[in-house]
Amino acid sequence: MFKVPDHQVAGHRASQGVLGPLIDDSGRFYKPLQSDERGSNEVVFYTQFSSNKEIPNHIRKFFSVYYDTQLIEASDGSGLLPHLVLEDITSTRTNPSIMDVKIGSRTWYPQASEDYITKCLMKDRQTTSLPLGFRISGLQIYGSEQSGYWKPDKKRVLGFTAEDVRVVLRKFVSSNSSDDFGTEPDCAFAAAVYGGSTGILAQLLKLKAWFEDQTIYHFYSCSVLMVYEKEPILNGKSPSAAVKLVDFAHVLDGQGVIDHNFLGGLCSLIKFISEILKDQPHDLTKDNSGSEIACANDCNKI
Ligand SMILES: O=P(O)(O)O[C@@H]1[C@@H](OP(=O)(O)O)[C@H](OP(=O)(O)O)[C@H](O)[C@H](OP(=O)(O)O)[C@H]1OP(=O)(O)O
Ligand SMILES: Nc1ncnc2c1ncn2[C@@H]1O[C@H](COP(=O)(O)OP(=O)(O)O)[C@@H](O)[C@H]1O
């Protein structure tokens, strides 16, 4: 039985007569192939990536498992349509807080049409992509059973300024984030979610170390998805914080050159998150001995 995902925060959404992803009860996410080359590009990427022996295992876990394509009834009622069958990143979490961060100051690739470049450039200029090297594309933050989620609409999110981004990254790990911008975020969950040897910062640093070296792919308009659960933290358990990459409709051959557009945006996001941890009563970018929790040149330590 297919249904519309409860926890999608960005991208094309399924609704009455509109094409978008679906999920099932077995933990799979079905993304419809877009009719132009974007759909086939993403299939080519997942197929090639799945069998690429050059991808280290500690990097493979940043990507959803790819199961193949499957013909299923499209959400817009247009009939059978091929869908990418992926691991549903949210299926094992009850009340996930999720943020989709589109990485890169430039979301267009050099070979794109002039019209496409103009459209993307306009969005990159109007959002924080140009000044920060990334933009928040969508998010939901779980508050409590009473307050539910804070899930600002797309227009609001795309209007975030650099200062808004700073605040939202703090709200994401706060216990008082269920309203709009009225309250100063308390960052109560920063240590559990962003910090530590398995937290989001450590994961982003692992990813960064790979991007400093890999010249296989250039990821345009690709997002980092940050996901965690608040309730386990309150019960002294791990928030299962995860970093995943999504959206590979515009991945190009790296042709032996590093992906400086993605790497730059990733470094910028890392800096924002590091600063939140540094602002905590004990500098959480350091362990008990005072060493950095993660070192870009020695990523296997974390
Ligand atoms: O349709 P829009 O204007 O909402 O743009 C989509 C983007 O939404 P945005 O406004 O940037 O949040 C959307 O971005 P998100 O996934 O929401 O970050 C995609 O970039 C999408 O393009 P593609 O399927 O990756 O080629 C974009 O779709 P296309 O317009 O390229 O079909
Ligand atoms: N494998 C996945 N599991 C769960 N949610 C996903 C997965 N892939 C994407 N999503 C959700 O769908 C949104 C849009 O995905 P994306 O691949 O960027 O679609 P689009 O090409 O329409 O922009 C993401 O922000 C996320 O909320």
Judge if 64 and 189 occupy the same domain: no
* Residue 13 lies inside a defined structural domain of this protein: no
Distance (Å, whole) CA 225 – CA 176: 22
pTM of the complete model: 0.94
Q: How many domains does the chain have?
A: 2
Cβ(10) – ligand 1 distance below 6 Å: yes
11 Cα to the center of ligand 1, angstroms:
6
Beta-strand (E) ranges in the chain?
22-23, 28-32, 66-73, 80-87, 96-103, 134-144, 148-150, 217-219, 223-229, 242-246, 251-253
| Ligand that lies nearest to the alpha carbon of residue 156, given by its number in the listed order | 1
Distance (Å, whole) CA 88 – CA 225: 12
Question: Residues of the chain with pLDDT > 70: what percent?
Answer: 93
Question: Tell me, what's the ipTM?
Answer: 0.91
Return the ∠ at Cα 156 (arms to 142 and 251), rounded to 5°.
Answer: 85
Which positions ≥6 away from 36 have C-beta within 8 Å?
none
Find the domain containing 173 and state its range.
96-301
CA-wise closest residue to 141 among 100, 102, 173: 173
Query: SS3 of 148, please?
Result: strand
Distance (Å, whole) CA 85 – CA 64: 10
* Residue 127 lies inside a defined structural domain of this protein: yes
239 Cα to the center of ligand 2, angstroms:
21
| Ligand that lies nearest to the alpha carbon of residue 221, given by its number in the listed order | 1
Cβ(123) – ligand 1 distance below 6 Å: yes
Q: Whose C-alpha lies nearest to ligand 1, atom 19? A: 11
Distance (Å, whole) CA 219 – CA 205: 17
Q: How many CB atoms lie within 10 A of CB 101?
A: 23
Judge if 136 and 285 occupy the same domain: yes
The domain that holds 139 is classified in CATH as 3.30.470.160
Judge if 44 and 165 occupy the same domain: no
Number of the ligand 2 atom closest to the C-alpha atom of 87: 1
105 Cα to the center of ligand 2, angstroms:
20
Strand partners, 251: 219
Contact between 262 and 252 (Cβ < 8 Å) = no
220's tokens = 């345009």
Lookup result for tokens 């269920």: 178
The pLDDT value given to residue 284: 63
If you average pLDDT over every residue of the chain, what do you get? 93
Judge if 140 and 284 occupy the same domain: yes
The pLDDT value given to residue 181: 74
* Residue 277 lies inside a defined structural domain of this protein: yes
Judge if 132 and 245 occupy the same domain: yes
* Residue 8 lies inside a defined structural domain of this protein: no
Widest distance between CA atoms in the chain:
60
pLDDT tens digits for range 165-221: 999 999 999 999 877 777 899 999 999 999 999 999 999 999 999 999 999 999 999
Spell out which residues line ligand 2, taking CB within 6 angstroms: 8-12, 21, 29, 31, 64, 86-90, 100, 138, 223, 225, 246-247, 249
Judge if 61 and 197 occupy the same domain: no
pLDDT tens digits for range 43-66: 999 999 999 999 999 999 999 999
Query: SS3 of 270, please?
Result: helix
* Residue 113 lies inside a defined structural domain of this protein: yes
